[in-house]
A = this chain, B = another copy of it.
Amino acid sequence: MNDYTSLSTAPRRVGDLPTPALVVDRHRFETNLATMADARPGLTMRPHVKAHKCTSLATRQEEMGHHSFTCATPREVVGMAEAGVGTDLLLANETVDPRRLRAMSDVEAATGIMVTVAVDSVATIEAARAAGIRHVLIDVNVGLPRCGAAPESVVELTNRALDVGLAVRGVMGYEGHLMALPDRSQKAAKVRESMALLVACADDVLAIAGDTASIVSAGGTGTFDLYDPDDPVLARVNEVQAGSYALMDSHYGALGLPFTQSLYVVGTVISRSPDWSVIDVGLKSLGMDHGNPTIDGATVWFCSDEHITFSGLSDTEVGDRVFVTPAHVDPTVAMHADMWLVDDVSRSAEAEVLERWPVDLRGW
A280 to B75, CA, bound (A): 13
Smallest CB gap from A106: residue in B: B4
15 extra interface residue pairs, beta carbon distance < 8 Å, beyond A4-B82, A96-B270, A145-B275: A2-B364, A50-B305, A95-B268, A95-B280, A96-B268, A96-B319, A124-B270, A124-B271, A147-B278, A283-B331, A284-B331, A284-B334, A287-B288, A288-B288, A305-B331
Digit string of A156-198 for contact with B (CB within 8 Å is 1, else 0)?
Answer: 0000000000000000000010000000000000000000000
Nearest CB of chain B from residue A343's CB, rounded to whole Å? 23
Give 12 A-B contacts (CB < 8 Å), ordered by A residue: A2-B363, A4-B82, A95-B268, A95-B280, A96-B319, A123-B318, A176-B304, A283-B287, A283-B330, A284-B330, A288-B331, A306-B364
Main secondary structure of the interface of A (DSSP, over half): loop
Decide yes or no: A103 and B289 within 8 Å by CB, A141-B273, A147-B270 being known contacts.
no
| Contact among B5, B7, B74, B303 with A289 in the assembled complex (CB-CB below 8 Å) | B303
| Contact among B4, B72, B99 with A5 in the assembled complex (CB-CB below 8 Å) | B99
A75-B2 in contact (CB<8A): yes
Q: How many copies of the polypeptide does the oligomer hold?
A: 2
Smallest CB gap from A127: residue in B: B319
Chain B residues near A99 (CB, 8 Å)? 5, 7, 18
- In the complex, chain A residues 69-90 whose Cβ is within 8 Å of any chain B Cβ: 72-75, 78-79, 82
A272 at the interface (CB under 8 A from B): yes
Decide yes or no: A307 and B271 within 8 Å by CB, A96-B318, A335-B335, A364-B2 being known contacts.
no
